[in-house]
C-alpha cells in the first residue's frame, strides 16, 4: 500500500495545501507528456508478490517486524498487517531471458524467506485469501507499525462518518458481516505485475490491460474461501472493493477500489486528472520536493486502487516513465504459475496494444467490466463476451485466441524461445486440466471438508515448486 509518511495528524490547512500542490503536479504531468518528456524507451517487466506468515497451526502469525529484521533484504518489505510481507522483483528489460531471470530471483528470495521463517517458528505461503484466516485475526492489533496505514484507516473512517465497513458477498455461499476498520484488506494478497512502456504506447497498453483483466482473473483465480465460506472463485475482488469503501459523499460513484471509469484516449495522464477531480485526498502529507518529482501525485495515486493502475516512476537518470500495474491476479499457487501468468499477460497485452485497429474500439468498456466480475465469480467456468460480440467460455477464449496471441507477442519481443515454450506450456496445462488454484481448493475441500488440511496440502505442493495443474487432491 505504498511508502511510509512522516505525519501522525492532519489539519484542514494540510488538505488545502496538499490539494493545491497536487493540482500543480497534475498539470505539470499533462504538459510534460505533451512535450515528450516521459521516457520512450523499451519495455521493462517487474512484479510485487504479497504473502502470508503462518504458524505451525496454519493460522496467520503477526511476526513480520522480527521476520523482516532477521531477513534484512531490500526486496522484502512490510504490508498492511503484521502477518503479511511483500516480495519485489528487480525490473528486467523485456527481452531475451527476462522471464526466467524473474523466476530465478523470486525463487531465491522465496527460499531465503522460508529459511528465515523457520527460524521465526513460522512459514510463508502465497495464496489469495488464506482459508484458515478468521475475522478476529483482522484487527488493528495486527496492523503493521506504519503511520501510513494508521492514517489511511483513520481517514477512511472519517469519510464514512465513523460507520463500520460492511462486507456483503453472494457467491457459492453468502457472507454478510460488518467490520470496524480497514484490516479486511489484509486478507487480499496479490501478485501485481508491472510493465513499463514507451510513453506513446502507455494509453493503449492500459486499455489492453483492461480488456485482459477478465481472462487473467479466470486463468489465475486462487481465492475461493473467506471465513470458511465458499464465495467467488476470486473472492479477493469484492473483498478488497468493500474493505476500503470510503463511501465518499462528494463522489459516491467513485469507489477507491474499482475497475475504472472508462478507456483512456491518447493522453495517459488523464488518469491523474481524474484522481484530482474525483477522489478526496486521504493522506495530505507535504513532501519537500520539486514539482517534477510528482511526489504528491504519486502519493495520492497510491490511495486509489484501480485494478489496473497507471504509475509514474523514474529511471537512473531521473527521467520519468509510465508503467501499467496489473493488479487483478492473486498470489500463488506456485512460483512457476505466477511467472507463467506474467508471461501470458506480457505477450497478450503487447499484441493487443500494438494492433492497427485499437481492440478497445471493438469491446465497450461496460462489457469489459462485466467480463471482469463474471470471471471473478466463476473463474475458468465464466462465460465472457469478446470482440465479435459472441459469448464464449473463458477456457475457449484463452485456448483458441489469447494463448496463441500471447505466444506471438512473446516471440515478437524476442524473448528466449525455451522460456516462452516453458511458461506457456504451464498455461496450456492449466487450461487442459481446468485446474487453477481456485478449482483445486474447491475440489480439495469438497473431498476432505477440512480447511486446515487444505492449507497444509496447498503449502506442501507450493514448496515442491510444481504448477497447480499437476497438484493432486
Per-residue pLDDT of the chain (473 residues; tens, 9 = 90+): 344 444 557 899 999 999 999 999 999 999 999 999 999 989 999 999 999 999 999 999 999 999 999 999 999 999 999 999 999 999 999 999 999 999 999 999 999 999 999 999 999 999 999 999 999 999 999 999 988 899 999 999 988 888 899 999 999 999 999 999 999 999 999 999 999 999 999 999 999 999 999 999 999 999 999 999 999 999 999 999 999 987 755 555 568 999 999 999 999 999 999 999 999 999 999 899 999 999 999 999 999 999 999 999 999 889 999 999 999 999 999 999 999 999 999 999 999 999 999 999 999 999 999 999 999 999 999 999 999 999 999 999 999 999 999 999 999 999 999 999 999 999 999 999 999 999 999 999 999 999 999 999 999 999 999 999 999 99
Q: Give dist(CA 323, CA 43) in Å, integer.
A: 9
Q: Give dist(CA 468, CA 473) in Å, integer.
A: 11
Global pTM reads 0.96
pLDDT given for residue 255 in this prediction: 85
pLDDT given for residue 248 in this prediction: 58
- Which residues are registered as beta bridge partners of 311? 323
Cβ(228)–Cβ(187) below 8 Å: no
- List alpha helices for 325-414, DSSP H: 335-353, 365-378, 394-397, 403-412
H/E element holding 297?
helix 295-301
Say how many CA atoms lie within 13 Å of 309 toward its Cβ: 23
Cα–Cα nearest to 83, from 47, 113, 53, 105:
53
pLDDT given for residue 4 in this prediction: 44
Is the torsion defined by CA of 335, 44, 362, 308 positive or negative?
positive
Query: How does DSSP assign 49-100, residue by residue?
Result: EEEEEE-TTSSB---HHHHHHHH--TTEEE-SBTTEEEEE---EESSBTHHH
Grid cell digits, residue 72: 534484512
Integer-rounded Cα Rg, in Å, for the chain is 21
Question: C-alpha distances in angstroms, 179 versus 255, 339, 357, 431?
Answer: 18, 34, 46, 37
CATH fold of the domain at 12-470: Creatine Kinase; Chain A, domain 2 (3.30.590)
Q: Give dist(CA 367, CA 353) in Å, integer.
A: 18
H/E element holding 124?
strand 123-125
Grid cell digits, residue 384: 465472457
Q: What is the DSSP letter of 353?
A: H
**Domain ranges across the chain:** 12-470
pLDDT given for residue 249 in this prediction: 53
Beta strands, E only, 181-332: 191-197, 225-226, 229-230, 257-258, 305-306, 308-314, 320-326
Q: Give dist(CA 24, CA 18) in Å, integer.
A: 10
Q: What is the DSSP letter of 163?
A: P
Q: How many CB atoms lie within 10 A of CB 96?
A: 14
pLDDT given for residue 160 in this prediction: 86
Angle, alpha carbons 197-46-306 (nearest 5°): 70
pLDDT given for residue 10 in this prediction: 85
pLDDT given for residue 331 in this prediction: 98
Is the torsion defined by CA of 107, 113, 116, 118 positive or negative?
negative
Cα–Cα nearest to 47, from 129, 112, 111, 103:
103
Cβ(45)–Cβ(102) below 8 Å: yes
Write 101-104 long-range contacts (CB < 8 A, 24+).
102/45, 102/46, 102/47, 102/339, 102/342, 103/335, 103/336, 103/339
pLDDT given for residue 250 in this prediction: 56
Cβ(322)–Cβ(196) below 8 Å: yes
Residues 6+ apart with CB under 8 A from 115: none
SS3 148: helix
Please state whether 72 falls in left (phi above 0), alpha (psi between -120 and 50) or beta.
Answer: left
Amino acid at each position: 500500500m505504498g511508502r511510509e509518511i512522516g505525519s501522525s495528524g492532519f489539519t484542514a490547512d494540510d488538505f488545502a495545501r496538499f490539494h493545491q500542490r497536487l493540482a500543480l503536479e497534475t498539470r505539470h504531468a499533462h504538459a510534460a507528456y505533451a512535450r515528450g518528456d516521459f521516457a520512450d524507451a523499451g519495455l521493462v517487466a517487474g512484479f510485487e508478490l504479497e504473502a502470508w506468515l503462518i504458524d505451525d497451526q496454519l493460522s496467520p502469525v503477526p511476526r513480520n517486524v522480527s521476520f523482516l529484521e532477521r531477513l534484512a533484504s531490500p526486496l522484502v518489505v512490510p504490508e498492511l498487517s503484521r502477518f503479511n510481507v511483500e516480495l519485489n522483483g528487480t525490473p528486467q528489460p523485456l527481452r531475451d531471458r527476462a522471464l526466467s531471470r524473474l523466476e530465478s530471483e523470486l525463487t531465491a528470495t522465496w527460499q531465503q524467506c522460508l529459511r528465515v521463517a523457520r527460524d521465526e517458528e513460522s512459514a510463508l505461503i502465497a495464496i489469495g485469501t488464506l482459508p484458515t484466516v478468521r475475522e478476529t485475526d483482522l484487527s488493528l492489533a495486527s496492523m503493521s507499525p506504519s503511520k501510513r496505514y494508521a492514517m489511511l484507516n483513520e481517514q477512511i473512517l472519517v469519510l464514512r462518518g465513523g460507520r463500520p465497513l460492511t462486507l456483503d458477498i453472494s457467491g457459492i455461499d453468502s457472507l454478510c458481516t460488518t467490520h470496524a476498520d480497514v484490516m479486511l484488506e489484509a486478507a487480499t494478497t496479490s501478485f501485481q505485475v508491472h510493465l513499463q512502456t514507451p510513453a506513446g504506447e502507455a494509453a493503449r497498453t492500459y486499455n489492453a490491460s483492461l480488456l485482459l483483466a477478465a481472462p487473467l482473473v479466470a486463468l489465475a483465480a486462487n481465492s475461493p474461501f473467506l471465513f470458511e465460506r465458499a464465495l467467488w472463485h476470486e473472492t479477493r475482488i469484492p473483498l478488497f472493493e468493500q474493505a476500503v469503501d470510503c463511501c465518499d459523499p462528494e463522489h459516491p460513484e467513485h469507489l477507491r477500489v474499482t475497475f475504472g471509469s472508462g478507456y483512456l484516449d491518447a493522453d495517459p495522464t488523464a488518469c491523474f486528472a481524474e484522481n484530482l477531480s474525483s477522489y478526496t485526498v486521504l493522506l495530505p502529507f507535504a513532501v519537500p520536493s520539486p514539482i517534477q518529482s510528482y511526489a504528491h501525485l504519486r502519493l495520492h495515486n497510491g490511495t486509489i486502487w484501480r485494478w489496473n493502475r497507471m504509475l509514474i516512476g523514474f529511471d537512473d537518470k531521473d527521467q520519468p516513465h509510465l508503467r501499467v500495474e496489473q493488479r487483478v491476479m492473486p498470489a500463488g499457487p506456485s512460483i512457476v504459475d505466477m511467472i507463467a501468468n506474467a508471461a501470458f499477460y506480457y505477450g497478450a497485452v503487447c499484441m493487443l496494444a500494438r494492433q492497427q485497429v485499437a481492440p478497445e474500439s471493438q469491446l465497450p468498456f461496460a462489457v469489459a467490466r462485466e467480463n471482469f466480475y463474471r470471471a471473478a465469480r466463476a473463474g475458468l467456468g465464466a462465460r465472457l463476451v469478446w470482440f465479435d460480440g459472441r459469448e464464449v467460455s473463458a477456457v475457449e477464449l484463452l485456448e483458441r485466441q489469447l494463448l496463441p496471441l500471447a505466444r506471438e507477442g512473446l516471440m515478437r519481443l524476442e524473448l528466449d524461445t525455451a522460456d516462452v515454450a516453458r511458461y506457456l506450456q504451464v498455461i496450456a496445462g492449466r487450461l487442459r486440466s481446468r485446474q487453477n488454484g481456485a478449482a483445486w481448493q474447491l475440489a480439495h475441500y469438497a473431498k476432505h471438508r477440512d480447511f486446515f488440511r487444505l492449507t497444509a496440502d496447498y503449502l506442501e505442493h507450493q514448496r515442491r515448486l510444481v504448477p497447480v495443474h499437476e497438484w493432486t487432491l
